[in-house]
Amino acid sequence: MTNSIDNDRVVIFDTTLRDGEQSPGATMTHEEKLEIAELLDDMGVDIIEAGFPIASEGDFRAVAEIAKRSKDAVICGLARAQLPDIDRCWEAVKNAAQPRIHTFIGTSPLHRAIPNLNQDEMAERIHQTVTHARNLCDNVQWSPMDATRTEWDYLARVVEIAIKAGATTINIPDTVGYTAPVESADLIRRLIAEVPGAEDVVFATHCHNDLGMATANSLAAVAGGARQIECTINGLGERAGNTALEEVVMALKVRGDIMPWHTRVDSTKIMHISRRVATVSGFAVQFNKAIVGKNAFAHESGIHQDGMLKNAETFEIMRPEDVGLTESNLVMGKHSGRAALRDKLNQLGFEVGDNQLKDIFVRFKELADRKKEVYDEDIVALMRLGEDPENDRLQIVSMKVVCGTGGPAEATVEMEIDGKDVSATAQGDGPVDATFKAVRELHPNTANLQLYQVHAVTEGTDAQATVSVRLEEDGMIATGQSANTDTVVASAKAYVNALNRLLVRREKTGPGSDAREISYKDVS
């Protein structure tokens, strides 16, 4: 992809499956990665960075399968400035209709010190590796990691080397979220103006959100001449995250008067993929998150409500339906049938087969019997992707919890482990602690609890609680998630689901293996 693209169009490069998954605990299964890639392709993302093929066998398999299944999007893999990395990346992406190799090296003084290379040695490495990548693939992207903290003269020098070696896209990463909008725009503008050959390549921007300016810096870079934005769904990513895809897409759509560029992303599919990424990663979207947060289109102030009733444009700069948010929210209940549930699922962006609908309908009825009102968010929480829980070695059969102010909480948990019914009673500092201790008695383990997070799906005392649990054991990380109107039940099931994922990983690869792809979700 070179400057043959429309100069008024901004290419969207999504790295949810690579940089986004590097968020500690934001792991996805192989099937979940394939699903997210398909959703990204369907919504019109131009380039999908599907992973880091040399990082693990799991990453390689996911990138290779996404490449085979790709339809319209360019499929990209990441590779360090090392020949084995680049070869492995090419093996993963070569079967895509449109493959891309993305290779990088840290060019700032701090990053040059890591491989202990001086400026000339690093320049030679860049020439060698980009040339090698270009000999394999016509579409090569090169990134000087930590570019915004790299000396100007050296940055200009290595960008020129990469262009001469055959790079077709030059990405300028703000790796630690250090830059500011005026600087971001000026840096791109200056590179385009002063580096020989710059007119023949696409310049890209990759911004992190450490100072809360990732979206602003990305849009400023576009004003400076960049025509590719690297971003993730929900702004997922390391530390404070990356530029959020939904924010730049909608900013360009809403403010075309001052930012006269467009993307090919279908914005009406944003809400669905946002929810799916939140579910499979275990990272809930904050309520006041721009575009996709629960409160993004909510109005409580009397003045705001009055204005909205008279004219929605008084306090909304975009329509909810522009991002795929359905207007009707409360239409389902215990008397609703399968046809109504299928229609609602279609409205929410889910296409289900007859068998899957049958399973979801049973759980929907069970939920409707416990709740007076079933909201869209409740139905989204019912959706799951992953293995049939009947195949799990650990399953909760029943629970009884006693707690209060008179003493420690006590939990009795009955489980089925490898087909055998067992039970245990334990005390703890609260019902969740007691329940987890009872599970550990039944299934002894050394897993450390890294994250325990409870999120109310809807309002009211009968709201479903979505619980995320992240465990670490022997270097492996597993995420479990469950939803239930009983918070303790949801907590127990999320914990057991994470334990099941650790068991599966241990059986397949053994302790010490790369564990980035483990995650499991269950809703009941």
Strand partners for 332: 374
- From the annotation, which residues make up the binding site? 19, 206, 208, 242
CA distances from 433 to 409, 454, 490 (A): 8, 14, 13
Please state, in angstroms and rounded to a whole number, the distance separating the CA atoms of residues 447 and 502: 9
**Rounded to 5, what percent of the chain is helix, strand, coil?**
45, 20, 35
> Which amino acid does the sequence have at 241?
G
- From the annotation, which residues make up the binding site for Mn(2+)? 19, 206, 208, 242
> Which amino acid does the sequence have at 159?
V
Closest CA to 522 of 472, 482, 473: 482
Three-class DSSP category at 17: coil
User: 477: part of which helix (H) or strand (E)?
Assistant: strand 476-484
Concatenate the DSSP letters of all residues of 122-189 into one string. HHHHHHHHHHHHHHH-S-EEEEEETGGGS-HHHHHHHHHHHHHHT-SEEEEEETTS---HHHHHHHHH
Residue with tokens 């006269």: 260
Please state, in angstroms and rounded to a whole number, the distance separating the CA atoms of residues 113 and 129: 19
Neighbours of 269 (CB within 10 A): 18
User: 339: part of which helix (H) or strand (E)?
Assistant: helix 338-347
Please state, in angstroms and rounded to a whole number, the distance separating the CA atoms of residues 289 and 276: 16
In terms of DSSP bridges, do strands 465-473 and 448-456 run parallel, antiparallel, or are they unpaired?
Answer: antiparallel
